[in-house]
């Protein structure tokens, strides 16, 4: 949530476009003058883990130092820094996982003026050309990617401030006109925006580099933008901006930066997927330009000369400061790239199972009585839910870690009521701390020097919800350690083990600051300016919060933390949502590509506010949003102040029934969801997947963003328009079979089908060849369903086979990891036999659960009989129902242990 100043919030006067960003203007001006760099290959130094060489430009004789690393899993890393910077330049800490294994690169000279570095297997090579400097990534004989082939390498060397210079000799290289007016315009030492002046004590320090992707036309990634899933070409002045900002009711189909930044993109074509991870936490701009394939050209004589030139897409990264530190993820498949990125930044944390249920939130539930009434409303209307949320009004005057004594006088009793229903409470904790000498948290942080400082050395002050506030410096490990300690039960009075956290406003949001955020020259731990690390501030708060929740349970319980601001690697600490969206059909529609983009860039646990945060949805939009949200990883209803109350039962019985059905379908699929989170945690496979990930050789899927795969088994096409009678659903795969999950109607793949829809229709299709585990009995929350029986939905492929899996553990502790307390089962159907077998012998977990229902879709012939074969050798005949019209076989009243080996024979 944000200041409710809607007109101001997305006003161009408040937020910059590219023309107002000085380092962008400087790079564009300088690069128009075509200064070339060359590599000095006689300076090559080979170490055990890296190869380095100098780069110089005609304009600047101060050399750059390039270092090339080979990393395990087919990843290359290129770092470029000044060889002898005036001061150290910022390098992003804490994002990369600690276990980056390097591989030895073999170097040999290529043609004159080039060097080739090959990985151990020799099929991947970096071909470094000296003059002009260029690097080609070669796979086999194919040039996949070129670096600096457009000559956009840009590096502003640190300088002595003009006031301290004795002579002109230390001045920048002279290619910038240093007249005073020009300096001001270029924003070298200070930059004006509206009434704000950004004074740059360290001067200009921006960097840039271009990458050409050969044969690629489809790029994805670099969240967060309210934009299409496939990245668009950018025109001059319209780059994708990565700069975390609090943008209330953000504009859609817009490349402006919003709450989070992941400087990582993927490129995909038939036969190859690659990734580029640009590790930089300062303001970053990305330009994209696709050059179409040229099939032929006219020769001078007028006859047609055949000439085939592959399409290519050029990507130009520009950052305000730091060093060039870029990782090339060479694929070759989408799943290889996901795994490579997870080697660098980690996988999605395994969430507690309650957090996969439905969450109920608004700004604000008024008091304990309100919480009790809303909680009872879910039971009264037979709607499951797992977590009640409290926004900022639950605190004493916006002082976090406190309770308003009038509204919430007995917070523990309120939590005990929720605990008795096996539900949880989530409360908000923002990074700004009210300036108040009587607030112990403020005074302790102040005394210990734990706040971000202003450039004069005092504590930085900004306005936020409590009024005048100081901001905790989460970049300081000691501040994070202290903040984590605040969640201990004796310290956080009124908290219990069912209380979890929500970090908001952590871009950070500063109401009267430039672009509603912190001045770039504020000072952090290590004397780094805020500009160096702006995009990683919220990442650090979520890290400290998650660590605090783990510590309060003495390392036993999994945390749940939702954050609004994020960076690469935030997946290790919890969930992310798309911020302050609007109650409008267009925002429901854009939520799908926004979540797909987050998902493929590592952040699988993501969602959008159901119903839209700003405004009042009508009943139809409200229902459709629940139907969409039920099939998205993070599922929370939320609304701002001054909106009408909108608990799921307030629109009339007809709509209550439809919302109940959508939420119940979420709980039915809980075993499938939890198994998908296990896969995301172990193998880095996204949960929500764009179609191109599952069908990487089908060109028509590459731009699709109105439907998606949930895991590999379910295709979901949410209805995102008002009053439709029909939706067009594309079912991919020429050798695939698809089944309507409600009617069991069958379609062959590689075609578009027109599906009639009414308000109760959620177009969901199960892929032939899959087995989806479900729960057959639902409870008031996930906690009531631990021992509920399972069902299996077996959808046969065109070959009459199917496979699936189930992951199961206690749903809340770390014992799955520490003691291997889990079950991982594999289901397979082939030649009329369904088998349940162990998928991971390391796991052991006692479960009383049984499989009581099995549905087989696509069985062409009625069986004569069905028998179960258990591991103790007992065979038993089973009653069955067969429907010839839908080719479905239904087995009920079974009692087959989920954790035991067994077979079902269909004869």
Residues marked as catalytic:
504, 507, 580
Cα 697 to Cα 268: distance, rounded to the nearest angstrom: 10
Residues 6+ positions from 194 with CB-CB distance below 8 Å: 13, 514
Q: What share of the chain is helix, strand, coil (3-state, %, to 5)?
A: 20, 30, 45
Sign of CA pseudo-dihedral 857, 860, 862, 863: negative
Helix (H) or strand (E) holding 824: strand 823-830
Residue in the structure block whose two tokens are 């660590």 = 547
What is the DSSP pairing of strand 688-689 with strand 124-129?
unpaired
| Nearest-angstrom CA–CA distance, 193 and 241 | 17
Of 204, 196, 259, the residue nearest 226 (C-alpha): 259
Helix (H) or strand (E) holding 57: strand 51-57
Q: Is 637 exposed, middle or buried (0-12, 13-18, 19+ CB in 10 A)?
A: buried
CA 336, CA 389: separation in Å to the nearest integer?
Answer: 38
Give the integer Cα–Cα distance in Å for 441 and 400.
Answer: 9
Question: DSSP secondary structure string, 837-896?
Answer: EES-TT-------EEEEEEEE---S--S-EEEEETTS-EEEE-EEEETTTTEEEE-S--E
Q: What does the alpha-carbon distance between residue 532 and residue 838 come to, in Å, rounded to a whole number? A: 49
CA-to-CA distance for 740 and 762, rounded, in angstroms?
10
Which H or E run contains 442? helix 440-447
Which among 336, 300, 229 has a CA at the least distance from the CA of 596? 229
CB atoms within 10 A of CB 652: 9
Measured CA to CA, the distance from residue 646 to residue 309 in angstroms comes to: 56
Closest residue by Cα to residue 545 from 461, 634, 472: 472
Q: Rounded CA gap, 532 and 459, in Å?
A: 18
574 dihedral zone (left: phi>0; alpha: psi -120 to 50; beta): left
User: In what helix (H) or strand (E) does residue 806 lie, and over which residues does it extend?
Assistant: strand 802-808
- Rounded CA-CA distance 215/219 in Å is 11
Parallel, antiparallel, or unpaired for β 190-193 and 154-155?
Answer: unpaired
According to DSSP, residue 516 is labeled: G
d(CA 350, CA 235): 40
**Residue 118 three-state SS:** strand
**N- to C-terminal Cα separation, the chain:** 59
CA angle, residues 318, 324, 325, in degrees to nearest 5: 120
For 700, how many CA atoms within 13 A lie in the half-sphere containing its CB? 11
Distance CA 837, CA 713 (A): 19
Q: How many CB atoms lie within 10 A of CB 692?
A: 29
Cα separation, 189 vs 203, whole angstroms: 5
DSSP element (H, E) containing 504:
none
Tokens linked to 156: 């502003």
The CA distance from 263 to 271, in Å, is: 24
CA 570 to chain centre: 8
Among 857, 900, 901, residue whose Cα is nearest residue 882: 857
């Amino acid at each position: 949530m944000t200041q409710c100043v809607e007109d101001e919030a997305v006003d161009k006067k408040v937020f910059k476009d590219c023309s107002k960003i000085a380092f962008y203007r400087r790079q564009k001006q300088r690069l128009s003058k075509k200064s070339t760099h060359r590599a000095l290959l006689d300076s090559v130094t080979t170490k055990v883990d890296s190869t380095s060489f100098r780069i110089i430009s005609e304009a600047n004789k101060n050399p750059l130092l390039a270092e090339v690393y080979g990393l395990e899993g087919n990843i290359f890393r290129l770092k470029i820094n000044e060889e002898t910077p005036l001061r150290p330049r910022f390098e992003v800490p804490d994002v990369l996982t600690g276990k980056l294994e390097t591989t030895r690169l073999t170097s040999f000279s290529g043609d004159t003026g080039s060097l080739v570095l090959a990985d151990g297997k020799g099929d991947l090579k970096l071909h470094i050309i000296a003059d002009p400097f260029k690097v080609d990534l070669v796979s086999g004989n194919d040039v996949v990617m070129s670096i600096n082939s457009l000559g956009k390498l840009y590096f502003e060397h640190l300088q002595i401030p003009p006031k301290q210079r004795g002579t002109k000799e230390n001045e920048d290289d002279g290619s910038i006109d240093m007249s005073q007016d020009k300096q001001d315009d270029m924003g070298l030492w200070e930059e004006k925006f509206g009434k704000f002046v950004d004074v740059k004590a360290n001067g200009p320090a921006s960097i840039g580099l271009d990458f050409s992707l050969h044969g690629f036309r489809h790029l994805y990634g670099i969240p967060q933008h309210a934009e299409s899933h496939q990245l668009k070409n950018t025109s001059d002045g319209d780059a994708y901006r990565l700069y975390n900002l609090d943008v209330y009711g953000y504009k859609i189909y817009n490349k402006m930066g919003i709450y989070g930044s992941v400087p990582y993109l993927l490129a995909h074509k038939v036969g190859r997927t690659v990734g580029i991870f640009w590790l930089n936490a300062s303001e970053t701009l990305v330009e994209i330009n696709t050059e179409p394939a040229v099939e032929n050209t006219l020769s001078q004589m007028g006859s047609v000369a055949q000439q085939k030139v592959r399409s290519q897409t050029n990507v130009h990264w520009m950052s305000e400061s730091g060093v060039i530190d870029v990782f090339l993820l060479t694929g070759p498949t989408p799943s290889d790239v996901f795994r490579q990125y997870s080697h660098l930044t980690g996988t999605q944390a395994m969430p507690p199972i309650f957090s996969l249920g439905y969450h109920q939130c608004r700004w604000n539930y008024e008091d304990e009585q309100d919480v009790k009434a809303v909680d009872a409303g879910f039971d009264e209307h037979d709607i499951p839910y797992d977590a009640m949320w409290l926004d900022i009004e639950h605190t004493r005057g916006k002082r976090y870690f406190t309770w308003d004594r009038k509204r919430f006088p007995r917070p523990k009793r309120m939590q005990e009521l929720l605990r008795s229903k096996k539900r949880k409470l989530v409360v908000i904790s923002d990074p700004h701390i009210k300036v108040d000498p009587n607030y112990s948290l403020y005074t302790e942080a102040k005394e210990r020097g734990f706040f971000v400082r202003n450039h004069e050395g005092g504590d930085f002050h900004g306005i936020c919800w409590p009024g005048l506030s100081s901001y905790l410096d989460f970049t300081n490990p000691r501040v994070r350690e202290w903040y984590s300690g605040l969640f201990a039960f004796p310290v956080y009075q009124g908290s219990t083990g069912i209380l979890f956290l929500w970090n908001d406003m952590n871009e950070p949001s500063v109401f009267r600051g430039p672009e509603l955020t912190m001045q770039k020259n504020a000072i952090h731990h290590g004397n780094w300016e805020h500009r160096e690390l702006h995009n990683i501030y919220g990442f650090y708060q979520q890290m400290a919060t998650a660590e605090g929740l783990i510590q309060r349970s003495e390392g036993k319980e999994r945390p749940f933390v939702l954050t609004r601001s994020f960076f690469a690697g935030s997946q290790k600490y919890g969930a992310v949502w798309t911020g302050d969206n609007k109650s409008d059909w267009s925002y429901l529609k854009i939520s799908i590509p926004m979540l797909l983009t987050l998902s493929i860039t590592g952040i699988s646990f993501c969602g959008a506010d159901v119903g839209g945060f700003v405004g009042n949805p009508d009943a139809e939009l409200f229902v459709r949003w629940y139907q969409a949200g039920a099939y998205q990883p993070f599922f929370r209803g939320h609304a701002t102040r001054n909106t009408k109350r909108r608990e799921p039962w307030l629109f009339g019985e007809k709509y209550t029934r439809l919302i109940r059905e959508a939420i119940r379908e979420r709980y039915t699929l809980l075993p499938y969801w939890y198994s998908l989170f296990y896969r995301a945690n172990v193998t880095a496979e996204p949960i929500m997947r764009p179609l191109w990930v599952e069908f990487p050789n089908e060109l028509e899927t590459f731009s699709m963003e109105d439907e998606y795969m949930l895991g590999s088994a379910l295709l979901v096409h949410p209805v995102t328009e008002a009053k439709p009678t029909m939706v067009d659903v594309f079912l991919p795969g020429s050798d695939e079979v698809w089944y309507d999950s409600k009617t069991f109607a069958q379609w062959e793949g590689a075609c578009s089908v027109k599906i009639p829809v009414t308000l109760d229709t959620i177009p969901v299709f199960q892929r032939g060849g899959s087995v989806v585990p479900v729960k057959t009995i639902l409870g008031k929350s996930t906690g009531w369903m631990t021992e509920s029986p399972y069902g299996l939905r077996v959808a046969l492929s065109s070959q009459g086979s199917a496979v699936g899996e189930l992951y199961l553990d206690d749903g809340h502790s770390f014992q799955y990891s520490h003691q291997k307390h889990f079950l991982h089962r594999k289901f397979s159907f082939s030649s009329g036999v369904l088998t349940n077998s162990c998928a991971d012998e390391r796991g052991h977990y006692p479960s009383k659960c049984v499989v009581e229902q099995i549905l087989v879709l696509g069985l062409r012939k009625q069986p004569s009989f069905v028998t179960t074969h258990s591991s103790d050798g007992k065979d038993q005949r089973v009653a069955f129902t067969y429907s010839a019209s839908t080719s479905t076989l239904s087995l009920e009243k079974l009692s087959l242990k989920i954790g035991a080996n067994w077979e079902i024979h269909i004869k």
